[in-house]
């Protein structure tokens, strides 16, 4: 079988949970060929991969958002839009319900229109005028024109990309990747699978509400735009997977058909962690660890502040920050500056290492993220018999407290961006070796029962075979 994986902003350019998931999926299915269709941020990432590409990835189609924003606008398209085409494009800007099939036919491979020519056309100008009448009566026309143009340019350009010849399409998010998968499904009739690691629509909504570059008049427009792209993927997907049950509920709330939604959790290779020694009861100082990228979404600053509070009560405590520091050099420097300003000793940035070798050196794993899906690091800590203190994001509570599985808690959950409560949890758990070992054992039993790599691979193998047999009839 040949499968096209469609990935945005992650594999193979950026290390992280989604990228690790893709690498695990591909390497775990050597019997299948994979075509990788990527959407990266900038063209300087072309060919610069953070992962060794498995042999069964037989093609890589690279697309970059900065290139999708380029092009000449000198050639104008003088054709008049059909009423159906005009309405579809107007609805894309102003309505919740969008006729994506018409838009895919207009701009997809072999379509009537080229993005750059269309956005310089009289037809586009008429659409913007109608949008102003419907939604933006009090907003300057120029602002509306350039905002809508910047929204449409990348998605219309990406629709024109070549379509891989495969049996199944599989997007690992909604957004631009999900929209591309929806267009591929429409053009070929081949089935589309969709896996959401986080809820893309909600993540973009949070970013837009905080963003300074989005004028207040257009924040809701951008939010609706990304929500519309997600609904396109939901509508075209034969199967929609989330990593945990709360995410499935959110997908349904955002427009995914409930009968197509199911949960396939992450899985890990348990044998990687079988030789990790238990937590020693030898009176050693508390050792904390975080397997984490130095980027804002991981909120290292909250963890650093929490550790500073812990050191006042446990001056010999140590914190190891394990993972890459080169993804956002500015944020990494801010973290170093914070540590220096707090005069907080005991923190070490370890960098890229074999993380399995480090779990045995820590007593407790920390996670301070403001957004997560289903973190591999929690599963790995549980497989290592280590308790976890994590923020209440994504599936962290489900992983730590269990879904009424009877195993008991494998750590503690704290609110996001709350150093004092994180510090309190660290002090409570860090001073009780018996509790650490009990929670570590509960976590091990949970991950061994529900989150094994072989179960993850078997679930997706079954789905691939079923949708291939259905062809396009699964939609």
DSSP track, 287-319: EEEEE--SSGGG-HHHHHHHHHHHHHH-TT-EE
Which stretches of the chain drop beneath a pLDDT of 50?
473-474
Q: Please report, for the domain that includes residue 59, its CATH number.
A: 3.40.50.2000
What is the C-alpha separation between 175 and 88, in angstroms, rounded? Answer: 19
Q: Tell me what pLDDT residue 473 has.
A: 47
* pLDDT value, residue 472: 55
Q: Scan for tokens 């300057």, then name that residue.
A: 140
Are residues 466 and 439 located together in one domain of the fold? no
Do 446 and 355 share a structural domain? Answer: yes
**421 and 459, same domain (yes or no):** no
* 303 inside domain: yes
Q: Decide: 248 and 263 in contact? Cβ < 8 Å.
A: yes
- Residue 101 is encoded by which pair of tokens? 């099939």
Is position 342 within any domain?
yes
* The three-state (H, E, C) secondary structure of 335-387, written as one string: HHHHHHHHCCCCEEEEECCCCHHHHCCCCEEEECCCCCCCCHHHHHHHHCCCC
- As given in the structure block, the two tokens for residue 96 are 């919740």
Residue 229: closest CA among 92, 118, 329: 92
Query: Chain centroid to CA 264: how far?
Result: 15
Identify whether 157 is part of a domain: no
Q: What is the pLDDT of residue 198?
A: 87
Q: Is the residue at 420 inside a domain?
A: yes
Tell which phi-psi region holds residue 411, choosing left (phi > 0), alpha (psi between -120 and 50) or beta. left
The pLDDT value given to residue 403: 81
* Residue written as token pair 């570059």: 213
> Are 180 and 61 part of one and the same domain?
yes
Whether residue 302 is found in the same domain as residue 334? yes
Give the max Cα distance, the chain.
Answer: 80
Asked if residue 420 and residue 345 are part of one domain, the reply reads yes
Q: Residue 442: which residues within 8 A CB-CB, separation 6 or more? A: 402, 407, 408, 409, 410
Contact 401, 395 (CB under 8 A): no
Within-domain flag for 432: yes
The structural domain count of the chain equals 3
According to DSSP, the β-strands at 411-414 and 364-367 are unpaired
Whether 156 is covered by a domain: the verdict is no
Is the CB of residue 232 less than 8 Å from the CB of residue 276?
no
Tell me, what's the pLDDT at 74?
55
* pLDDT for res 312: 96
Long-range contacts of 109-113 (CB under 8 A, 24+ apart): 109/159, 109/160, 109/161, 109/162, 109/163, 109/187, 110/187, 111/159, 111/160, 112/79, 113/77, 113/79, 113/156
461: enclosing H helix or E strand: helix 453-470
Do 355 and 420 belong to one domain? yes
Q: Is position 78 within any domain?
A: no
The verdict on 224 and 320 lying in the same domain is no
pLDDT (0 to 100) of residue 151: 93
Same-domain check for residues 467 and 336:
no
Q: What separation in angstroms does the CA of 235 have from each of 106, 155, 239, 259, 404?
A: 19, 17, 10, 12, 32
Please give the C-alpha separations between residue 431 and each of 29, 244, 254, 286, 463, in angstroms, as whole numbers.
44, 32, 43, 8, 46
Name the residue range of residue 136's domain: 83-151
Count the Cβ atoms, other than its own, within 10 Å of residue 140: 11
**CA angle in degrees (0–180, nearest 5) for 200-237-189:** 135
Among 128, 151, 174, the domain-final residue is 151
Statement to judge: residues 292 and 340 lie in one domain: yes
Q: What is the pTM of this model?
A: 0.91
The reply to whether 172 and 211 lie within a common domain is yes
Question: Does residue 77 belong to any structural domain of this protein?
Answer: no
Looking at the fold, whether 373 and 279 belong to one and the same domain comes out as: yes
């Amino acid at each position: 079988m040949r499968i096209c994986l469609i990935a945005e902003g992650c594999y193979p350019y950026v290390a992280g949970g989604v990228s690790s998931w893709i690498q695990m999926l591909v390497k775990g299915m050597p019997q299948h060929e994979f075509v990788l269709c990527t959407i990266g941020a900038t063209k300087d990432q072309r060919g610069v991969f953070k992962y060794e590409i498995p042999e069964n990835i037989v093609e890589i189609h690279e697309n970059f958002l900065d290139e999708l924003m380029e092009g000449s606008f000198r050639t104008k398209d003088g054709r008049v839009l059909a009423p159906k085409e005009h309405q579809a494009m107007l609805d894309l800007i102003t309505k919740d319900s969008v006729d994506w099939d018409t838009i895919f036919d207009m701009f997809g491979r072999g379509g009537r229109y080229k993005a750059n020519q269309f956005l310089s056309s009289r037809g586009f100008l008429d659409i913007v005028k109608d949008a102003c009448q419907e939604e933006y009566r009090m907003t300057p026309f120029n602002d509306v024109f350039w905002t809508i143009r910047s929204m449409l340019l990348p998605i219309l350009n990406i629709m024109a990309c070549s379509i891989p010849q495969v049996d199944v399409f599989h997007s690992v998010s909604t957004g631009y990747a999900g929209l591309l998968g929806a267009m591929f499904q429409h053009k070929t009739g081949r089935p589309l699978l969709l896996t959401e690691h986080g809820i893309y629509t909600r993540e973009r909504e949070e970013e837009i509400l905080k963003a300074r570059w989005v004028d207040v008049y257009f924040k809701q427009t951008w939010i609706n735009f990304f929500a519309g792209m997600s609904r396109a993927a939901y509508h075209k997907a034969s199967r929609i997977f989330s990593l945990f049950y709360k995410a499935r509920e959110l997908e349904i709330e955002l427009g995914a058909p409930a009968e197509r939604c199911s949960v396939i959790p992450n899985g890990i290779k348990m044998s990687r962690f079988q030789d990790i020694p238990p937590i020693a009861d030898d009176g050693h100082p508390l050792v904390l660890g975080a397997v984490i990228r130095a980027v804002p979404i991981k909120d290292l600053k909250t963890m650093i502040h929490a550790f500073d509070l812990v050191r006042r009560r446990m001056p010999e405590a140590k914190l190891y920050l394990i993972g890459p520091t080169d993804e956002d050099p500015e944020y990494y420097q801010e973290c170093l500056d914070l540590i220096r300003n707090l005069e907080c000793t005991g923190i070490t940035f370890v960098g890229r290492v074999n993380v399995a070798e480090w779990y045995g050196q820590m007593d407790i794993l920390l996670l301070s993220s403001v957004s997560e899906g289903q973190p591999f690091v929690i599963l790995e800590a549980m497989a290592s018999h280590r308790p976890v203190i994590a923020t209440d994001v994504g599936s962290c509570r489900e992983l730590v407290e269990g879904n009424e599985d009877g195993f008991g808690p494998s750590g503690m959950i704290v609110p996001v961006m709350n150093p004092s409560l994180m510090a309190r949890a660290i002090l409570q758990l860090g001073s009780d070796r018996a509790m650490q070992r009990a929670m570590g054992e509960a976590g091990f039993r949970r991950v061994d029962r529900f989150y094994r790599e072989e179960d993850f691979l078997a679930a997706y193998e079954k789905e691939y075979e079923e949708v291939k047999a259905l062809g396009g009839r699964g939609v």
